[in-house]
Amino acid sequence: MTPDEFAALLDTLHVGLDEGLKMRNEARNRPQVNHSYGFPQNRAQAVHRVRTAVKNIGAYNVAIVYDNGQSVEMMNREFLCSTSRYFANALNGPFKEASTHIVRLRHDFPWAIYAMLDFLKNGCYYMYPLLCKQYPRITILDLHVHGYIVADKYELSALAEYSAKHYLRIAADTLALNWLFDDPNNYDNSLNSVVLLWRNTVSRQDALRKEVLEMIKTCFIKLMRLKSFQFLLHNLSDFIHDLYESFGEDGLQIRMLARKHKGYRVSFAA
């Protein structure tokens, strides 16, 4: 990789820092979130913090409880309802959340909720040091997919747009690098985000899946150099099905022949 290309790659990892700083300044006029960084070190501390926060809910605040009840953040109710139809329905409908002012979020990746709350406060999120320590192989692309998943679940259109926009930008910049100057296997971890996206979205009609599929098609031969991409083709059935269908819509028939110890041989036919 040339010095210029390496600098370009590093640039992508700032996750739109300039834009993020601009959004932080614009966020000063928003209702503030009582957001403390870093998860508690043990369950006892977590339970104590949750109970303390719940006891101090104000008339206009909502307690967001997540991470199996171990983490809590206070949000302004009016702001939350204006941002998300999901929360508006929960807090204004015939549900217990409307009277308790406590919303419990279940079955989510805790850091995805953490990023979601950070976005609601600051208009952006980052690769947090503790996140990287807990999950050394996680990439910024993975975090963007996680953000996109919770945005869809909790009907936060602004977060979905932000996560998808930055995911596609970083993925495009990575795929545009000249891999002749670098070991392509260095990019294997980036493909984890593709698996994450396909396993957590409903169908090919998902907006981000469609965009990613088109991007992969343009670099398909290049990606075939990666062992991890070949493994993905072999094991992620929904992905390969979408790929076949998409190439078919373009008037191309793709054939892949598995070769023992040598990956796949690919051919196209009109």
Regarding predicted confidence, which is higher, 94 or 10?
94
Mean pLDDT of 65-91: 91
- Structure confidence at residue 157 (pLDDT): 95
The answer to whether position 74 is within a domain reads: no
- Structure confidence at residue 51 (pLDDT): 66
3 state DSSP class of 264:
strand
pTM of this prediction? 0.77
Greatest Cα pair distance, the chain, in angstroms, is 66
Does the pLDDT of residue 5 top 60, yes or no?
Answer: no
- Structure confidence at residue 250 (pLDDT): 81
Regarding predicted confidence, which is higher, 46 or 250?
250
Position 38 confidence tier, pLDDT thresholds 50, 70, 90: very low
Most confident range (mean pLDDT) of 211-215, 236-240, 245-249, 260-264 is 211-215
The answer to whether position 56 is within a domain reads: no
The answer to whether position 35 is within a domain reads: no
Does the pLDDT of residue 112 top 60, yes or no?
Answer: yes
Mean pLDDT of 47-54: 64
Mean pLDDT of 202-224: 89
The answer to whether position 235 is within a domain reads: yes
Cβ contacts of 66 within 8 Å, gap of 6 or more:
72, 104, 105, 106, 108, 110, 113
CA distances from 10 to 3, 136, 140, 174, 203 (A): 11, 18, 12, 10, 33
- The Cα–Cα gap between 61 and 84 comes to 15
- The Cα–Cα gap between 83 and 94 comes to 20
Mean pLDDT of 169-191: 75
Regarding predicted confidence, which is higher, 14 or 139?
139
Could you give the number of structural domains in the chain? Answer: 1
- Structure confidence at residue 105 (pLDDT): 94
The answer to whether position 236 is within a domain reads: yes
Identity at 161, one-letter amino acid code:
E
Q: How far is CA 52 from the centre of its chain?
A: 30
pLDDT tens-digit series, residues 69-80? 888 888 899 999
* CB-CB contact of 57 with 63 (8 Å): yes
The answer to whether position 95 is within a domain reads: no
Position 13 confidence tier, pLDDT thresholds 50, 70, 90: very low
Torsion 120-121-122-125 (CA) sign: negative
CB atoms < 10 A from the CB of 237, how many? 10
The answer to whether position 117 is within a domain reads: yes
Regarding predicted confidence, which is higher, 135 or 101?
135
The answer to whether position 81 is within a domain reads: no
Query: Containing domain of residue 115, as a range?
Result: 3-30+108-269
* pLDDT above 70 as % of the chain: 68
